[in-house]
């Protein structure tokens, strides 16, 4: 039986660079298809806001300085990343919105219901925070988002406070500690007896090289074949795709992307939705 490439994706819902690398991750997954076993391992970037801003009379000032630093960072990264960002809305968030523990737990609560829906829920959390500038810090915010999916919402609410969801999250945290992972995204790629780690935001070319290395040249990813049908199939597969994701998937320049999106909308079966610095395409 042929070896499959296994990728363990260590991540956190509030990790900006995890959101930024969605186009590259999706491209790898589409191209590898059934050659890939892909697993999300949930970590926690921040569990208490006081770990970030402290707990004294200067906490408020410290948070404002931290928020200014984030604003500068996001604005500098926006053009390179290309994913939709609602920068003005993000900058209105309070200190509690920097705590990722509740969102990591929400993913685990959804995973108890369905692993595929949990992955889609994780993606929606990132869209809400970064593309739409929404807060998901409260249980009610998380439950409202869960209602977008075909699940028992009250079961999800119960799962949020269950020992089982906490156990799943702790397993992820323990694996992060085992590998010494403190920054996201981190990918651990395994192929037979070979294993390598890739940390931080990476271009598709860098991921392609890492895959070739760990598989000793047995898997060499080629660019996707482009056609209008292929773009439609890509959008249909994920239900919603950022313009940058389509651009990355098919290696398009800006002019080609603009033409593709016009052709997509002209079919009458798809629409675009402006969101912050960019936009998404989705079926009507």
Q: Tokens 């260590």 correspond to what residue?
A: 10
Two structure tokens written together for 181 = 């992972």
What is the spatial distance between Cα 177 and Cα 229, in angstroms, rounded to a whole number?
A: 44
Please indicate whether the domains covering 5-179 and 228-283 agree at the CATH topology level: no
The per-residue pLDDT for range 192-232, each reduced to its tens digit, is: 999 999 999 999 999 999 999 999 999 999 989 999 999 99
8 Å CB contact between 129 and 92: no
Q: Tokens 């998380």 correspond to what residue?
A: 142
What is the spatial distance between Cα 91 and Cα 74, in angstroms, rounded to a whole number?
A: 10
Q: Tokens 């970064």 correspond to what residue?
A: 130
What is residue 81's predicted lDDT score, i.e. its pLDDT?
87
CA distances from 110 to 16, 44, 97, 252 (A): 21, 16, 20, 35
Two structure tokens written together for 78 = 């926006």
CA triple 65-277-47, angle to 5 deg:
45
List Cβ neighbours of 67 (8 Å cut-off, separation of 6 or more): 91, 93
What is residue 1's predicted lDDT score, i.e. its pLDDT?
45
3-state helix, strand, coil in the chain (%, to 5): 55, 15, 30
List Cβ neighbours of 200 (8 Å cut-off, separation of 6 or more): 17, 183, 185, 186
Superfamily for domain range 5-179: Glutaredoxin (3.40.30.10)
Could you state, in order of their start, the residue ranges of all structural domains in the chain? Answer: 5-179, 228-283
8 Å CB contact between 280 and 240: yes
Two structure tokens written together for 189 = 């790629």
Q: For residue 49, which phi and psi values (nearest 5 degrees)?
A: -60, -30
- Hey, which CATH number is domain 228-283, 3.40.50.300, 3.30.420.40, 1.10.10.10, 1.10.3720.10? 1.10.10.10
8 Å CB contact between 13 and 74: no
What is the spatial distance between Cα 249 and Cα 163, in angstroms, rounded to a whole number?
A: 39
What DSSP character marks residue 150? S
The per-residue pLDDT for range 262-278, each reduced to its tens digit, is: 999 999 999 999 999 99
What is residue 59's predicted lDDT score, i.e. its pLDDT?
83
Listed as ranges, residues in the chain with pLDDT below 50 are: 1
What is the spatial distance between Cα 83 and Cα 127, in angstroms, rounded to a whole number?
A: 10
């Amino acid at each position: 039986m042929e070896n499959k490439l296994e990728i363990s994706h260590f991540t956190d819902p509030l990790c900006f660079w995890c959101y930024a690398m969605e186009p590259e991750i999706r491209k790898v997954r589409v191209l590898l298809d059934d050659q890939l076993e892909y697993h999300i391992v949930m970590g926690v970037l921040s569990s208490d806001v006081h770990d970030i801003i402290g707990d004294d009379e200067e906490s408020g000032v410290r948070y404002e300085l931290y928020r200014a630093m984030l604003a500068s960072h996001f604005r500098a990264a926006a053009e390179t990343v290309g994913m939709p960002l609602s920068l003005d809305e993000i900058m209105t968030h309070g200190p509690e919105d920097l705590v990722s523990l509740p969102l990591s737990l929400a993913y685990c609560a959804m995973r108890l219901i369905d692993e595929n829906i949990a992955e889609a829920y994780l993606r929606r959390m990132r869209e809400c925070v970064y593309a739409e500038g929404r807060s998901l810090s409260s249980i009610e915010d998380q439950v409202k988002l869960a209602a977008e999916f075909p699940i028992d919402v009250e079961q999800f609410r119960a799962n949020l406070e269950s020992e089982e969801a906490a156990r799943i999250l702790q397993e992820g945290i323990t694996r992060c500690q085992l590998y010494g992972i403190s920054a996201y995204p981190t990918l651990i790629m395994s192929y037979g007896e070979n294993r390598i780690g890739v940390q931080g935001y990476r271009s598709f070319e860098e991921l392609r090289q890492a895959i070739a290395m760990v598989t000793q040249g047995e898997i060499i990813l080629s660019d996707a074949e482009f056609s209008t049908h292929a773009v439609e199939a890509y959008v249909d597969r994920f239900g919603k795709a950022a313009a940058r994701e389509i651009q990355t998937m098919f290696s398009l320049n800006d002019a080609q992307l603009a033409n593709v999106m016009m052709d997509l909308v002209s079919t009458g079966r798809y629409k675009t939705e402006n969101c912050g610095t960019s936009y998404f395409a989705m079926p009507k």
